[in-house]
């Protein structure tokens, strides 16, 4: 395939739990887990399941969550149901102390918390964490080159606290698993939001380099991840941040992404790479303001795949769900080396009515119109220079 410089096929494995289609953050909530079921529907309809090993795996155990999360928080997740939350005042207070709830709903059913008490919360967490752990184990075993879990990528969750729609940090758990076999792990985060939970977990480590590209402006969540945020102690210059202005397009993005990631690969020489593929950096996202096309987003996957290090692909944000599913399906095709073979026309399948507004096309080869003047993209040159300086320090 022209996408891999060494011409080698990649052995790809893939995690999908159909239970995700029943997970509901509440009416009006931006996070719609059904987008993962939609992605799977597309992947299946394109025949891509024949090019990957399906990871048939158990959910994570509560004990496995303790590799990052604290006991009190894991116990809380195990006890927390919508009914118990309403009837048990102590539980309600504990949940709120840990960033979950209140389940305050308006007349129209809208929910007012980023991290609501959802039905089947613990099952959902154990499923997506189990998927990322199984994917990491598959890479450790050496039988697979790329492992995919589109239900993972929950980069904001903290040790004892839910944050930004994320309850359990499957990324930190997967990286810890990879460190059992690989010496150095590079984490790259192309979600529109700062990968703060993963950065914090490894801020003082020189075994893990974290690199987040994100929209950065006042009032945009979570507000951290400035260019000067570079990690602490032994981990200094092993955390890297690339703050972006809203409106950043494919061209401007890749004038930063390729030199910075290329340099990180060169100086850090990772033994494995984790890529959080949050699709809220796509143009038209309901929460974020970056302007990547599906092709521009997938170029990040293609670029990292080309280095030939074991690669873990995870999901993340993404709030215009037809775009998200199109993007992750196309990235699955990139992973297996079939991006040139995949038709733009979406095959008939149970979710195809979601793609009406995009003319039933994946739009994976449609170039995004440059939204910024070259002058605005030039502002990014100063960021590139600083980031490259951090990498040579």
Are 80 and 95 a contacting pair, CB within 8 Å?
yes
Q: Residue 126 or 242: which CB sits closer to Ca ion?
A: 242
Of residues 306, 305, 278, 293, the one with CA closest to residue 213? 278
Is 103 near ligand ZLS (CB under 6 A)?
no
Q: Tell me which residues in 286-325 interact with Zn ion (CB under 5 A).
A: 317
Q: What three-state secondary structure class fits 311?
A: strand
Q: Residue 131 corresponds to which tokens in the numbers above?
A: 């998927």
The residues annotated with a catalytic role in the active site are 156
What is d(CA 122, CA 126) in angstroms, rounded to the nearest whole number?
6
Stretch that binds ligand ZLS, among 109-117, 296-304, 322-330, 366-374 (CB under 6 A): 109-117
Please provide the DSSP assignment of 230-282 as one string: ---GGGTTSEEEEEE-TT-BHHHHHHHHHHHHHHHHHHH--SEEEEE--GGGB
Minimum gap (Å) between residue 199 Cβ and ligand ZLS: 13
Residues 6+ apart with CB under 8 A from 57: 15, 130, 131, 134
Q: Select from 201, 193, 192, 191 the least CA-distant residue to 168.
A: 201
Q: Which of 212, 241, 320, 322 binds Ca ion (CB under 5 A)?
A: 212
Binding residues for ligand ZLS, how many (CB under 6 A)? 21
Assess 193 for contact with ligand ZLS (CB under 6 A). Answer: yes
DSSP 169-231: -HHHHHHHHHTTT-S-EEEEE-SSS--HHHHHHTTT-SSEEEEEEEE-STTSTT----TT---
CB of 292 to ligand ZLS, least distance (A): 14
The single residue among 78, 287, 302, 365 that binds ligand ZLS, judged by CB under 6 A, is: 287
Based on the shown chain and the rule CB under 6 A, indicate whether residue 285 belongs to the binding site for ligand ZLS. Answer: no
- Asked if 316 is part of the footprint of ligand ZLS (rule: CB under 6 A), the reply reads yes
CB of 214 to Ca ion, least distance (A): 4
- Indicate whether 284 belongs to the interface with ligand ZLS (CB under 6 A): no
Residue 69 touches Ca ion, criterion: CB under 5 A: no
- Applying CB under 6 A, does 317 fall inside the site for ligand ZLS? yes
Please count the CA atoms within 13 angstroms of the CA of 49 that sit on its side-chain side. Answer: 11
Class of residue 373 by CB neighbours under 10 A (exposed 0-12, middle 13-18, buried 19+): exposed
Residue 189: contacted member of ligand ZLS, Zn ion, Ca ion, none (CB under 5 to 8 Å, by partner type): Ca ion
User: Could you tell me if 279 and 151 are in contact, meaning their C-beta atoms sit under 8 angstroms apart?
Assistant: no
Residue 278 binds Zn ion (CB under 5 A): yes
159 vs 286, which CB is nearer to ligand ZLS?
Answer: 286
String marking each residue 168-207 x if it binds Zn ion according to CB under 5 A: -----------------------xxx--------------
Per-residue mark of binding to ligand ZLS, 18-37 (x: CB under 6 A): ----------xxx-------
- Residue 369 Cβ, how far from Ca ion at the closest point, in Å? 23
Q: In what order do the strands lie in the sheet with 311-314?
A: 52-54, 12-15, 146-149, 311-314, 272-276, 185-189, 208-215, 239-244
- Among 28-36, 125-133, 137-145, 185-193, which window interacts with Ca ion (CB under 5 A)? 185-193
Q: Would you tell me which residues interact with ligand ZLS (CB under 6 A)?
A: 28-30, 110-112, 114, 154-156, 164-166, 191, 193, 221, 278, 280, 287, 316-317
């Amino acid at each position: 395939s022209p996408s891999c410089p060494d011409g080698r096929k990649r052995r790809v494995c893939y995690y999908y739990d159909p239970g995700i289609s029943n997970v509901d953050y509440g009416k009006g909530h931006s996070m719609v887990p059904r987008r993962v079921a939609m992605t799977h529907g597309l992947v299946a309809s394109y025949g891509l399941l024949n090019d990957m090993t399906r990871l048939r795996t158990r959910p994570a155990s509560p004990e496995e969550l303790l590799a990052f999360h604290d006991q009190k928080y894991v116990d809380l997740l195990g006890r927390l149901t919508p009914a118990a939350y309403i009837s048990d005042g102590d539980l309600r207070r504990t949940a709120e102390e840990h960033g979950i709830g209140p389940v305050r709903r308006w007349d129209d059913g809208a929910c007012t918390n980023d991290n609501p008490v959802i039905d089947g919360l613990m099952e959902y967490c154990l499923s997506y964490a189990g998927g990322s752990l199984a994917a990491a184990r598959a890479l450790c075993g050496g039988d697979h080159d790329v492992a995919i879990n589109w239900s993972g990528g929950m980069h904001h969750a903290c040790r004892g606290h839910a944050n930004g729609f994320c309850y359990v940090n499957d990324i930190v758990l997967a990286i810890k698993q990879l460190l059992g076999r690989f010496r150095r792990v590079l984490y790259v985060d192309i979600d529109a939001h700062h990968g703060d939970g993963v950065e914090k977990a490894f801020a003082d480590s020189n075994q893990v380099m974290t690199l987040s590209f994100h929209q950065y402006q006042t009032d945009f969540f979570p507000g951290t991840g400035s260019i000067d945020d570079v990690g602490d102690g032994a981990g200094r210059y092993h955390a890297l941040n690339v703050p972006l202005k809203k409106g950043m397009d494919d061209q401007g993005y890749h004038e930063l992404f390729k030199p910075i990631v290329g340099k990180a690969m060169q100086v850090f020489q990772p033994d494995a790479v984790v890529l959080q593929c949050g699709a809220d950096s796509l143009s038209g996202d309901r929460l974020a303001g970056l302007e990547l096309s599906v092709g521009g987003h997938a170029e990040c996957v293609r670029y990292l795949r080309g280095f030939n290090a074991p690669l873990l692909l995870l999901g993340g944000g993404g709030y215009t769900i037809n775009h998200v599913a199109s993007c992750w399906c196309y990235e699955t095709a990139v992973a297996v080396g079939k991006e040139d073979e995949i038709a733009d026309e979406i095959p008939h399948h149970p979710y195809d009515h979601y793609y009406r507004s995009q003319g039933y096309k994946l739009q994976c080869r449609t170039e995004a119109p440059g939204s910024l003047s070259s002058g605005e993209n030039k502002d990014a040159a100063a960021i590139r220079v600083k980031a490259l300086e951090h990498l040579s320090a």
